[in-house]
Amino acid sequence: MTNDDNARLVDFLEREGVLKTKRIIEAFTNVPRHMFVLEENMDNAYADYPLPLMKGATISQPSTVAFMLEYLNLQPGEKVLEIGTGSGWNAALMGYCIGKKGNVISLEIEKALAEFAERNISKTGVSNVTVLCKDGSGGYSEKAPYSRIVYTVAVDEVPVNVLEQLKIGGILLAPIGIDNVQVLTMMEKADKKRFKKKYLGYFQFVPMRSS
C-alpha cells in the first residue's frame, strides 16, 4: 500500500462529488484506510467497497463513510458518540475532523474488534478517540450530551433515551430498517422533543446485536 493508492481513492471520491469539505478530505488523506483492514485484504484497502473484519463485522465502503461525514458536518471541539466501532476507521476520521479539543466515544460490543480498533487508531496519531467495549443499544448517557451521534450499525429505531443524549441543535445519523437494506436517516434536534428528519438514501449495514 502506498500513499499514491490513498491519493487515488481521495481523488476518486472528490470527482464523484461525495467528498467535498476540506477538513474531511484532509482526514481521508491523513487517516489511511489500509491501517484499518485485515492483513489478507490489504491489496483491496483502497477499493470502494466494504471489506470483512472479524466476527461478521465489515469496514464500510469509503464512499458511504465520506457521505455520512459530509452530512455530520463535524466542527472543532465537538463531542461525538459512535455506535459500532468496527475497525475504528470512521472513529479516527471523526477524531481528526474535530481536532484535539474534540472527543469521540465509540462503542463496540465485540472485545476482539474493540481491541483491533484501538490498535489501528493508535497507528494514526489520532489521540482523541475512546473505544469502549460495550453494548451500544442504549447509547452512553455517562458522557452525554453529544453534539453528534452516529450509528454504523443498522437499527429498527433509535430509542428515546439515545435521542435524549443529543444536544439541542445536534445531529444524529442512523441506518434505520430491519430488512437487509436501511434508510440512512438524519435527525436534527430542534428542541427537547422535536426532530427535523431527512432521509438520505438506501444503504446496507450489519445489524445491531444485543448482548
Binding region for ligand SAH (CB under 6 A): 55, 57-60, 83-84, 86-87, 89-90, 107-110, 113, 135-137, 152-153, 206, 208-210
CB of 109: closest distance to ligand SAH in angstroms?
4
Cα angle for residues 98, 47, 21 (degrees, 5° grid): 30
Rounded CA-CA distance 12/190 in Å is 35
Longest dimension (CA), the chain: 48
Given the complex with ligand SAH, which of 53 and 187 has the nearer CB atom?
Answer: 53
Given the complex with ligand SAH, which of 36 and 168 has the nearer CB atom?
Answer: 36
33 class by beta-carbon count within 10 Å (0-12 exposed, 13-18 middle, 19+ buried): buried
Closest CA to 33 of 124, 112, 122: 124
Q: Based on the residue annotation, tell me whether 60 is a catalytic residue of this protein.
A: yes
Q: Which residues pair with 82 in a beta bridge?
A: 106, 150
CB of 93: closest distance to ligand SAH in angstroms?
8
Given the complex with ligand SAH, which of 54 and 190 has the nearer CB atom?
Answer: 54
**88 contacts: CB under 8 Å, gap ≥ 6:** 36, 106, 116, 117, 118, 120, 121, 129, 131
Rounded CA-CA distance 200/197 in Å is 10
Query: Among the options 60, 87, 106, 147, which is catalytic?
Result: 60
CB of 113: closest distance to ligand SAH in angstroms?
5
CB of 151: closest distance to ligand SAH in angstroms?
9
Given the complex with ligand SAH, which of 66 and 166 has the nearer CB atom?
Answer: 66
| Residues designated catalytic | 60
